[in-house]
């Protein structure tokens, strides 16, 4: 186990070093931070003085070493657009994105897995066929179109839910949350459905196909021959052996929900990291873009490590010898 975890930690460290070097190159070769901070009207002497104070006159490797040291402490400079420390700016947006992503993941897993199991067990029923049709529509429809349709129906026509924003939030220590207010929950409904719809249909189709394959195996036939109840066969034997690919995809998709919630946050003007990175790209705010890359890479490394550990819990066969 220790050897396995050491290998995973080493691989994660290499990934983070690669991403940190990529984000450092953004600082070095895309745009000029001196011009962004001082403007074109600054004199040459002012620009050179600021360049020296920022350490931009030093060799590339020296600057990368210093950048890495600052990144480990969560310091990525100052946003060119907001003129705030990037770490502070990102942290103010993290709660909104994580709440949206985890609610969407809970909805996708909580509905997708039972629907996939039902569609596999009752594959010839009309409800299962209807689920297949709905899943095909859900996996084909772009998320921005889903969001716009939900806004049109539930905000414009019915006036049940707010069309944008996060609603009222409360501070819980250093964490701002909308989960403790009614308007926060109302504002969360449509964005989480929009973000979860593709993942829900993906999980449903994955569970259905894996479940059908497992139900055709010899040990399932042997279990039926022994007279074991169908409920036990479906949920204790078959479903447990279906979870390995589901865990793999769920881990990757959770990272994708966090990293690629940009479109959903833009449609609903959700004040999270996705909306922030769109604004940063629009204004060439390189420090924010670089910090976002580092944070997303760290999230993916952590999620992949958690998925690997879950394998040991679900299936002892994948444990290293």
For 10-50, what is each residue's pLDDT tens digit? Answer: 877 888 888 888 777 766 666 666 666 666 677 778 777 87
Half-sphere exposure of 104 (CA within 13 A, CB side): 30
Q: Give the lowest-confidence range in 140-149, 151-160, 214-223.
A: 214-223
**Band of pLDDT at residue 152, cut at 50, 70 and 90:** very high
Residue 276 scores a pLDDT above 80: yes
Mean pLDDT, all residues of the chain:
80
Map tokens 């996939």 to a residue: 116
CA–CA dist 240, 222 (Å, integer): 17
For 94-149, what is each residue's pLDDT tens digit? Answer: 888 888 988 998 998 888 888 888 888 888 888 888 888 888 887 788 888 888 99
Residues 248-262: what's their mean pLDDT? 78
Rg from Cα positions in the chain:
24
Task: Determine the pLDDT at residue 232.
Answer: 79
User: Strand, helix or coil at 171?
Assistant: strand
**Band of pLDDT at residue 320, cut at 50, 70 and 90:** low
Task: Determine the pLDDT at residue 84.
Answer: 80
Half-sphere exposure of 307 (CA within 13 A, CB side): 19
Residues 234-263: what's their mean pLDDT? 78
User: Strand, helix or coil at 78?
Assistant: strand
Q: Where are the alpha helices (DSSP H) in 141-217?
A: 143-150, 182-215
Task: Determine the pLDDT at residue 33.
Answer: 65
Q: Which residue from 143, 93, 102, 103 is spatially nearest to 292, judged by alpha carbons?
A: 93
Residues 203-223: what's their mean pLDDT? 83
Q: Which helix (H) or strand (E) holds 60?
A: helix 60-72
User: Strand, helix or coil at 172?
Assistant: strand
Q: Which helix (H) or strand (E) holds 53?
A: helix 44-53
Residues 301-310: what's their mean pLDDT? 78
Distance separating the N- and C-terminal Cα atoms of the chain:
9
Task: Determine the pLDDT at residue 313.
Answer: 67
For 53-64, what is each residue's pLDDT tens digit? Answer: 766 677 777 777
Residues 242-268: what's their mean pLDDT? 80
Task: Determine the pLDDT at residue 241.
Answer: 76
């Amino acid at each position: 186990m220790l050897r396995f975890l050491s290998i995973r930690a080493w691989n994660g460290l290499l990934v983070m070093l690669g991403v940190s070097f990529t984000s450092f190159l953004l600082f070095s070769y895309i745009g000029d931070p001196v011009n962004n901070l001082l403007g074109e009207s600054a004199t040459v002497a002012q620009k050179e003085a600021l360049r020296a104070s920022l350490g931009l006159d030093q060799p590339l490797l020296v600057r990368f070493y210093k950048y890495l040291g600052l990144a480990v402490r969560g310091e990525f400079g100052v946003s060119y657009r907001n003129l705030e420390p990037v770490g502070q700016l990102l942290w103010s947006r993290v709660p909104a994105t994580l709440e949206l992503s985890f609610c969407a993941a809970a909805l996708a897993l909580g509905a997708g897995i039972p629907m996939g199991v039902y569609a596999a067990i009752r594959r010839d029923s009309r409800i299962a066929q209807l689920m297949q049709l709905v899943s095909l529509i859900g996996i084909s429809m772009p998320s921005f179109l889903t969001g716009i349709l939900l806004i049109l129906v539930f905000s414009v026509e019915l006036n049940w839910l707010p069309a944008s924003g996060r609603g009222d939030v409360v501070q819980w220590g250093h964490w701002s949350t909308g989960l403790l207010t009614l308007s926060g929950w109302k504002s969360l409904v449509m964005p989480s459905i929009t973000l979860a719809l593709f993942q829900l249909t993906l999980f449903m189709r994955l569970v259905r196909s894996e479940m059908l394959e497992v139900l055709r195996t010899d040990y399932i036939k042997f279990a039926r021959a022994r007279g074991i109840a169908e409920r036990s066969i479906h949920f204790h034997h078959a479903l447990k052996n279906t979870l390995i690919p589901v865990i793999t995809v769920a881990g990757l998709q959770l990272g994708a929900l966090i990293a690629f919630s940009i479109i959903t946050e833009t449609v609903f003007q959700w004040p999270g990291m996705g909306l922030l990175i769109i604004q940063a790209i629009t204004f060439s705010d390189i420090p924010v873009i670089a910090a976002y890359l580092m944070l997303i890479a760290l999230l993916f490394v952590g999620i992949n490590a958690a998925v690997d550990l879950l394998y040991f819990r679900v299936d002892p066969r994948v444990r290293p010898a």
